[in-house]
Structure 1
Amino acid sequence: MRYGVYNAILHDRSLPEALEVISSVGLTGIEINTGGFLPPVHVPNIDEILTSDTARDDFLGIFEGTGVEIAGLNCNGNPLHPTKAIGDKHSEDVRRSIKLAARLGQTRVVTMSGLPGGEPGSTRPNWIVNAWNSAALDVLDYQFDVAAAFWKETDRLAADLGVKVALELHPQNVVFNPRDIRRLVEMTGATHVGVELDASHLFWQQMDPVAVTADLGELVFHAAAKDVRVNTERAALYGVLDNGFRKLDPSEDRVNLGGDEWANEWPKDSAWDFVALGRGHDADFWSRWLVELNKIDPDMCVNIEHEDTSLGRVEGLTEAAGVLFEAAEKVGLR
């Protein structure tokens, strides 16, 4: 197994500085953001790398002697967004990231399946949470048709370039559980589209990441070590689908998600939170998960994604790495 970090948490510093942090906590890989919801801070010259061997070699030279290697690319976004300005950009970011991966000798690109509107002409994505009525299933059929058309074409590109695309099982996407990814693969005949097993989004949906990993088997291409703590007293009142978010004012610091869409402020009395590895589930749990991943691919990249707002960037990464290493050592995977 290989252990690294998704670099978004280190976007506040240069790539060489980020590599120093990663090496200092004992990790050996960096999953690099290449577009989608976030700008490609650590690889701003993607187009140049795609066309210039010198630019490519210069970029790869940054990693020499650092003890850290590239451990996949990441362009999480909504390539199926019904607003053209967002959907076109994010879908092109996926294609460009696949081409970039091939140029850099990488075989994994992480992204999301995407979420269309509910019908032709829509301008807002429509996530069907519980399809108890017939109209909701009609919407899902339409959305899967849209998704299948995009991913069938994208799978061909990925296969031609020897790159596998790992879809995060993320809510507010067409694909967010094992049933969904199997449906997409069946509809498209995809050979190079599978799953990034991010445990965090499974936890709060009451899914077991160990069971999901075992169930999906070779459809799991990549993994994200990220934890969730369910705040049981609040969850008992609001449920895990609580929408107690706050829209941020333009004068406030906020993250653009494309076009005129922005990330909202997380509920202050949330039913669940992203936390550093170990603060939701202990090392024994993570060791069982690593065993299942290792059965699929002993060379799989498992990259920490740090989004615990109660901890500093390096502080949280250090804590998470310690728990991941403890888990790995328990089962002889480090």
Structure 2
Amino acid sequence: MKFAAFSGVLIDHSIQEALQLTKKLGFDGIEIAAREPHLSAATSAPRVKEIRTVADGLGLDIPVIAGYMGGFSTASDKESEQAFSEFQRMLEMSETLGASMIRVGSGGPNAFLAEDYHYAKAAFWLRKCAAEARKHDKRIVLEIHNVSLVETVESGLRLLDLVGEDNVGLIHDAGNMYITDTDYGRDSVIALGRKMFHVHVKDEKRVAEAGSPGTFVNRTKHGEEKFLQCRLGEGEADHQPLFDALKETGYDGWVTLECHAPFPAYERLEHDFRKVKQMLGLA
């Protein structure tokens, strides 16, 4: 396994600073959030080259560009064309950055509210993205995420079956799956199999009230629920079965840490990386 920091955690820093902090923390690489001030479809070619130069100088890989484009299931045709155009630009950037995966969003609503046409429309545009990605030998990753078509293993595999392309896979995210209230332990890893291209790690817990730092409200199958973003081991998303399953199955891909708990960014990444190494018996 290789470990990356999510640059979105360090979004208050420049991308150059985020790279330096990632190196200082001891990560193998950085997953770049495709939003400013780190990266976007409008980022110039010279600036993209500069990011790669700084990363190379620090000995950091860039395995994933975490795109925010997509939302195809509920977007208009014009919006979908724009998202597809942004995806094509991200593909060009991935060549320079050396990223092998690009995250794309399927769109909503929650899987338990979605109709067949939501899946059909998302699959149509994702097939187009997959065809473009194949020209660059890149893979597309869809994050298992609450309030989306892909919020459980089952709904994720359903969409992948409709897309029908082997360069499109899923990001396992136990924190998101805890919010959805679906299995995120060993069975989820086994069920995903080779369709699990990547892993995200963060902790959450249900709370009685929202409004304080780190809290948010989300619609789930239980209704409107309130959550608190936590450091690993301080929430309710038990990641130990996940890491046990990753070891059992010989997973040798990337694991990105993306804690958004209300603590200083460096501190929460440092804490979570230490906890991950403890769970894997590497501490």
Fold conserved (TM > 0.5)?
A: yes
What is the CA deviation profile of residues 66-105 of structure 1, one whole-angstrom value per residue up to 9, with x for unaligned ones? 2432131101344314256754443433332233223332
Identity of aligned residues (%): 20
Q: Matched residue of 1:63: which SS?
A: helix
Describe how 1:15-34 pairs up with structure 2 within 5 A: 15-34=15-34
- Alpha carbons of 1:85 and 1:297: their partners in 2 closer, same or farther (altered >3 Å)? farther
Alpha-carbon deviation of 1:212? 1.1
CA distance in 1: counterparts of 2:30 and 2:279, whole angstroms: 20
Letter in 2 for 1:63: A
Alpha-carbon deviation of 1:56? 5.4
What is the CA deviation profile of residues 211-252 of structure 1, one whole-angstrom value per residue up to 9, with x for unaligned ones? 212210110001111111233799xxx995543xxxxxxxxx
What is the CA deviation profile of residues 283-304 of structure 1, one whole-angstrom value per residue up to 9, with x for unaligned ones? xx53432243345564311111
Aligned positions, number = 273
The corresponding residue for 1:278 is 233
Structure 1 residue 63 and structure 2 residue 62: aligned? no
Letter in 2 for 1:293: L
- Alpha carbons of 1:179 and 1:27: their partners in 2 closer, same or farther (altered >3 Å)? same
Alpha-carbon deviation of 1:319? 1.4
Contact conserved, 2:142 with 2:170, CA < 8 A, in 1? yes
- Structure 1: give runs of 5+ residues left out of the alignment: 116-126, 132-138, 244-269
Letter in 2 for 1:158: A
Q: Report the structure number with the largest CA radius of gyration.
A: 1
Choose which of 241, 245, 256 in structure 2 pairs with 1:292.
Answer: 245
Could you tell me the TM-score, scaled by structure 1's length? Answer: 0.72
Letter in 2 for 1:42: H
Contact conserved, 1:148 with 1:184, CA < 8 A, in 2? yes
Structure 1 residue 106 and structure 2 residue 58: aligned? no
Contact conserved, 1:114 with 1:173, CA < 8 A, in 2? yes
- Alpha carbons of 1:145 and 1:29: their partners in 2 closer, same or farther (altered >3 Å)? same
The corresponding residue for 1:145 is 120
CA RMSD of aligned residues (A): 2.9
Q: Matched residue of 2:58: which SS?
A: coil
The corresponding residue for 1:135 is none
After TM superposition, the structure 1 stretch with the greater mean CA deviation from structure 2, 17-26 or 289-298, is 289-298
Contact conserved, 2:259 with 2:269, CA < 8 A, in 1? yes
Contact conserved, 1:77 with 1:114, CA < 8 A, in 2? no
Q: Matched residue of 1:200: which SS?
A: helix
Structure 1 residue 42 and structure 2 residue 38: aligned? yes
- Alpha carbons of 1:277 and 1:86: their partners in 2 closer, same or farther (altered >3 Å)? farther
